[in-house]
Amino acid sequence: MTTMDLRQLEDMLRGNNVVLTAGPTIAPETVSLNITDERGTDMGAQDISLSTVQQRRVNFVLVYNTRTGEPIPVDTNRLPTMISAKKVHRDPRFPEYVGRIMFTLDKGRVPEYKMGTLKCPMHKESPDAEHYYTLGAEPCRKSNIPNILAVEDHMRKKHPQTYQYTERMRVREIESEEREFRRAVIAQSTQETTPRRKA
């Protein structure tokens, strides 16, 4: 039996399109059977221990985001896709990571993950949650977002319709305020340029 480190395993998974499947587990089971002899005479019930094969449908393994260190549970069948050489960082806000592999199995190669405390605006404990629910948004359980930028990123990726709607409303509100400001400036300049009548 050969052994390999995590880096070798990742290289093998990336290079060969390996598909991992969860193996069967042997589970002992006690079954009570009625025993009869060859003439059909009832010999009574007897407990017999059988080993039954149970197929595990999903096995999870942790992969780590190479930029944030965030641990993410991944179904073993999706593991080769998650650590694929095609899955790289693309966020221009972090140019030093652009083009680097996004996920790894090796926790020692990533920064320490600092779990955030900010909640998604649609989390049930968020002060704005009811507003979003009236728009038709579903509750969200995400409550460990590290910073405001990540909250916006979460909204854009996980709740795109709600994000787009709130952005449209924000733009309309800004445009409305700008129109009101222009009207006030025009009204004030008109008053200043209008000659006053002498009494």
Looking at the fold, whether 99 and 143 belong to one and the same domain comes out as no
* Residue 65 belongs to some domain of the structure: yes
Looking at the fold, whether 162 and 66 belong to one and the same domain comes out as no
Looking at the fold, whether 175 and 86 belong to one and the same domain comes out as no
Looking at the fold, whether 136 and 199 belong to one and the same domain comes out as yes
pLDDT recorded at residue 191:
81
Looking at the fold, whether 132 and 96 belong to one and the same domain comes out as no
Tens digits of residue pLDDT in 17-39 = 555 655 555 555 665 656 666 67
Looking at the fold, whether 83 and 130 belong to one and the same domain comes out as no
**Percent of the chain surpassing pLDDT 70:** 75
Among the three residues 97, 114, 131, which one is the final residue of a domain in this structure?
114
Among the three residues 114, 134, 154, which one is the final residue of a domain in this structure?
114
* Residue 11 belongs to some domain of the structure: yes
Phi first, then psi: give them for residue 91, nearest 5 degrees. -70, 115
Helix (H, G, I), strand (E, B) or coil at 15: helix
* Residue 57 belongs to some domain of the structure: yes
Section 33-58 average pLDDT: 60
pLDDT recorded at residue 10:
76
Tens digits of residue pLDDT in 146-180 = 888 889 999 999 999 999 999 999 999 999 999 99
Looking at the fold, whether 96 and 8 belong to one and the same domain comes out as yes
Tens digits of residue pLDDT in 104-130 = 988 888 998 888 889 999 999 999 999
Q: Which domain holds residue 127?
A: 115-199
Helix/strand number for the chain, H first, E second: 5, 5
If you write DSSP's letter for every residue of 137-167 in order, what string do you get?
PPP-----B-SHHHHHHHHHHH-HHHHHHHH
Q: Considering its fold, how many domains does the chain have in total? A: 2
* Residue 43 belongs to some domain of the structure: no
